[in-house]
Chains A and B, each alone.
Chain A
Amino acid sequence: MTAGAFLQIRDVVKAFNGHRAVNNVSLDIRKGEIFALLGPSGCGKTTLLRMLGGFETPTSGTILLDGRDLAGLPPYERPLNMMFQSYALFPHLTVWENIAFGLKRDKLPAAQVAEQVDAMLRLVQLSKFAQRKPHQLSGGQQQRVALARSLAKKPQLLLLDEPLGALDKKLREETQIELVNIIEEVGVTCVMVTHDQEEAMTMASRIAVMSDGRLLQVGAPGEIYETPASRFVADFIGNVNLMDGALTLDEPGHVQVACADCTHHIGHGITGTEGMPVTVALRPEKIRLGREATDVADVPAGFNRVRGTVKDMAYFGSYTVYHLQLASGMVLKVSSSNAERHREHPLTWGDEAWASWSPTAPVVLTH
């Protein structure tokens, strides 16, 4: 990577009537990557995307694309294109004309426009539908027209606003992969906005989690999932058990945290002082469930295990989620993969069970 990233967002603030919708965001996005802005609705991710597109003006801060300051450039002069939420296809134009719209604005010769539109139609496999109007297409096809239209001008940067938000679940899963394949085939740098963490995880090479106008954490999907930096991120991405407790031992190689129902022995150090309040985050799939109390390897006897009663269970086919009621009243979520068929004496409602986890499973969160 060179000194300056391809897209540099520097201290960008957007205030509406005194409220900061985007609060001091700085980001570097590399050439060719698919970058996702992830957060709940109202977190400012769409406002940030619209500032990249030129539809909103930052209150302060700068945005540099390939070293060039985008400030003052209207949308129609920016070397980037956007795929809008629910697509904003022109209803009075055919698929072909929709894709050609941007090319014609560049005053390209007709033959060149036709060539590029046909290439785009092949890319999204819609050549057969060139003469249809948008309302004659299915949701998935409309989405591909919108993608073709936003790629037709070969933008330096592609912006996707909730690209799959308008599709139903099954179609969304299929389209995620297809969309990534097309974007990678074209090789365009891409910034997408989504509130769906699964979508961000499957599509993006890096994710920025936003809340209340601020960036909370930036990293690869795996990093964000396995080492969340805060309670919000741990809770927003995937399922998690959060246990409040206090640091009782702080050694370089491991720490111990006492919680209401159990004591954790955690195999990595943190910067903290003994007695400070912390939160332990434990993912449901990292917990083992059994009928007997067993000691956990590499952990002092009695640590990293807890007894509870199965209060609820939800069968998802490939895995089952158990809700274990602990002595303090807390409910521990445990997901257990159903690797065998017809397991003997499976746990069921009302059974007593022991949950245990390895020292590497929990993450200690200080805020």
Chain B
Amino acid sequence: MTTNLHPAPSKRTNPGRFAVIGVPYVWLLIFFLLPFLIIVKISISEMGDVSVNDLVSFRDGALAVNARLGNYLTVVRDELYFNTYVSSLKYAAVTTVLCLAIGYPFAYFMARAQRAVQPVLLMLVMLPFWTSFLLRVYAWKGLLIEHGWLFDLITGTGLDKLLAGANLIPGPGQLMNTPFSLVLGMTYMYLPFMILPLYSNLSKMDLRLLEAASDLGATAWVAFWKITVPLSKAGIIAGSMLVFIPCVGEYVIPELLGGPQTQMIGRTLWDEFFSNNDWPIAATVAVVIILLIIVPLALFSKYQAEAQEKHA
């Protein structure tokens, strides 16, 4: 490692250095770890009549710790929760793949466009953010609802029969509140999060590498798969995470565009908190989904770091 070769002599004496490193740590501690611990606490507490009972109580001279892990057993064993987790992960994965399939060519042509045009294209990608998220989801409703113009287009061309055949909609002429409308909405909403990291990666690529590949006998197609795609791996990973992670916990889009077939974990969470008023179960559902996402990610980045260390 380089630390041995270039020791920083001012490591201890420089408070500025400590502050710079410290700020993000403190931020994460206060706004991520602390709330997370509160959620964990709620998940192992008992629900009282109005609010959650205290985890530790002192009554009649006896100290009692009322922690229960039963909620975790319920969440793991109950088929309803299990299916909801699987369906959340499934729709998030499908959305990620679709965003990648649409976003990669998009980012590629943006990065290869004339230098002068690129800022304009970048603006156009970010332009939808200037309109409210909710408004845009509602707009899709208007398009997909019976006799919305996208509805007319899809039913007019007979595309709905194809979708019904693929089991994405229950039957021809029913587009709203189906897996189709859900995935369409999520792909639309999260596409910019895929395009931006890919664009930033692809626009930095050294184009002489493609000339070298061409010189060595690779057609443009081969050079794309052998050089461009492997070199944009970091962008693909970053974009996929930015889409996948929020999609798993997405609440608004499934609520407005999804249907009975597309129960997702965000919706379950809402129901437990606000309809059933069962905070501990809701907190358990939240903790499990966080672990479900963070553990594979942590393992993955550890593997990445190890692979990089091997190279260095």
A163 proximal to B (CB < 8 A) = no
Bits for B199-214, please: 1 = Cβ < 8 Å to A, else 0.
0000000101101111
B227 proximal to A (CB < 8 A) = yes
| Pairwise interchain contact A82-B227, C-beta atoms closer than 8 A | no
| Pairwise interchain contact B231-A76, C-beta atoms closer than 8 A | no
| Pairwise interchain contact A81-B226, C-beta atoms closer than 8 A | no
Question: Assuming the A-B contacts A88-B206, A92-B230, A92-B231, are A74 and B214 also in contact, with contact meaning beta carbons closer than 8 angstroms in the complex?
Answer: yes
Complex Cα spacing A84 to B215, Å: 10
How many B residues face the partner with a CB closer than 8 A?
19
Partner of B218 from A53, A76, A88, A133 at Cβ < 8 Å: A76
| Pairwise interchain contact A76-B209, C-beta atoms closer than 8 A | no
B219 proximal to A (CB < 8 A) = yes
Determine the chain A residues whose CB is within 8 A of the CB of B215 once the complex forms.
Answer: 53-54, 75-76, 78, 81-82, 84, 150
Question: Assuming the A-B contacts A76-B219, A90-B227, A105-B222, are A84 and B214 also in contact, with contact meaning beta carbons closer than 8 angstroms in the complex?
Answer: no
Complex Cα spacing A84 to B210, Å: 11
B217 proximal to A (CB < 8 A) = yes
Bits for A78-101, please: 1 = Cβ < 8 Å to B, else 0.
100110100011111000000001
How many A residues face the partner with a CB closer than 8 A?
26
Q: Least Cβ distance of A49 to chain B in Å? A: 12
B311 proximal to A (CB < 8 A) = yes
B50 proximal to A (CB < 8 A) = no
Question: Assuming the A-B contacts A101-B216, A153-B217, are A88 and B227 also in contact, with contact meaning beta carbons closer than 8 angstroms in the complex?
Answer: no
Number of A-B pairs, beta carbon distance below 8 Å: 59
Complex Cα spacing A54 to B212, Å: 11
Question: Assuming the A-B contacts A76-B219, A92-B231, A153-B217, are A101 and B209 also in contact, with contact meaning beta carbons closer than 8 angstroms in the complex?
Answer: no
Q: Least Cβ distance of A84 to chain B in Å? A: 6
Determine the chain B residues whose CB is within 8 A of the CB of A89 once the complex forms.
Answer: 212
* Interface set, chain A 60-83, CB cutoff 8 A to B: 74-78, 81-82
| Pairwise interchain contact A88-B222, C-beta atoms closer than 8 A | no
Q: Least Cβ distance of A59 to chain B in Å? A: 20
Complex Cα spacing A54 to B219, Å: 13
Complex Cα spacing A53 to B212, Å: 10
A319 proximal to B (CB < 8 A) = no
Q: B interface, by DSSP: helix, strand, loop or mixed?
A: helix
| Pairwise interchain contact B213-A101, C-beta atoms closer than 8 A | yes
| Pairwise interchain contact A136-B226, C-beta atoms closer than 8 A | no
Question: Assuming the A-B contacts A101-B226, A133-B311, are A88 and B217 also in contact, with contact meaning beta carbons closer than 8 angstroms in the complex?
Answer: no
A277 proximal to B (CB < 8 A) = no
Complex Cα spacing A53 to B208, Å: 13
Determine the chain A residues whose CB is within 8 A of the CB of B230 once the complex forms.
Answer: 92
Q: Least Cβ distance of B282 to chain A in Å? A: 45
A149 proximal to B (CB < 8 A) = yes
Determine the chain B residues whose CB is within 8 A of the CB of A315 once the complex forms.
Answer: none
Q: Least Cβ distance of B298 to chain A in Å? A: 24
| Pairwise interchain contact A88-B212, C-beta atoms closer than 8 A | yes
Question: Assuming the A-B contacts A90-B227, A105-B222, are A76 and B217 also in contact, with contact meaning beta carbons closer than 8 angstroms in the complex?
Answer: yes
| Pairwise interchain contact B216-A88, C-beta atoms closer than 8 A | no
* Interface set, chain B 167-223, CB cutoff 8 A to A: 206, 208-209, 211-219, 222
Q: Least Cβ distance of B227 to chain A in Å? A: 6
A232 proximal to B (CB < 8 A) = no
Complex Cα spacing A102 to B217, Å: 6
| Pairwise interchain contact B218-A105, C-beta atoms closer than 8 A | yes
Q: Least Cβ distance of A66 to chain B in Å? A: 18
Question: Assuming the A-B contacts A88-B206, A105-B222, A133-B311, are A76 and B214 also in contact, with contact meaning beta carbons closer than 8 angstroms in the complex?
Answer: yes
Residue of B nearest to A75 (CB): B214
| Pairwise interchain contact B216-A153, C-beta atoms closer than 8 A | yes
Q: Least Cβ distance of A360 to chain B in Å? A: 47
Q: Least Cβ distance of A159 to chain B in Å? A: 9
| Pairwise interchain contact A106-B217, C-beta atoms closer than 8 A | yes
A to B CB contacts below 8 Å, 20 in the list = A54-B214, A76-B214, A76-B216, A76-B217, A76-B218, A76-B219, A82-B212, A82-B215, A84-B212, A88-B208, A88-B212, A89-B212, A90-B212, A90-B213, A92-B231, A101-B218, A105-B217, A150-B215, A153-B216, A153-B217
B interface residues (Cβ-Cβ under 8 A, vs A): 206, 208-209, 211-219, 222, 226-227, 230-231, 233, 311
A interface residues (Cβ-Cβ under 8 A, vs B): 53-55, 74-78, 81-82, 84, 88-92, 101-102, 105-106, 133, 135-136, 149-150, 153
9 additional contacts (CB under 8 A) given A88-B209, A88-B211, A90-B209: A53-B215, A75-B215, A81-B215, A84-B208, A91-B231, A92-B233, A101-B216, A102-B217, A149-B216
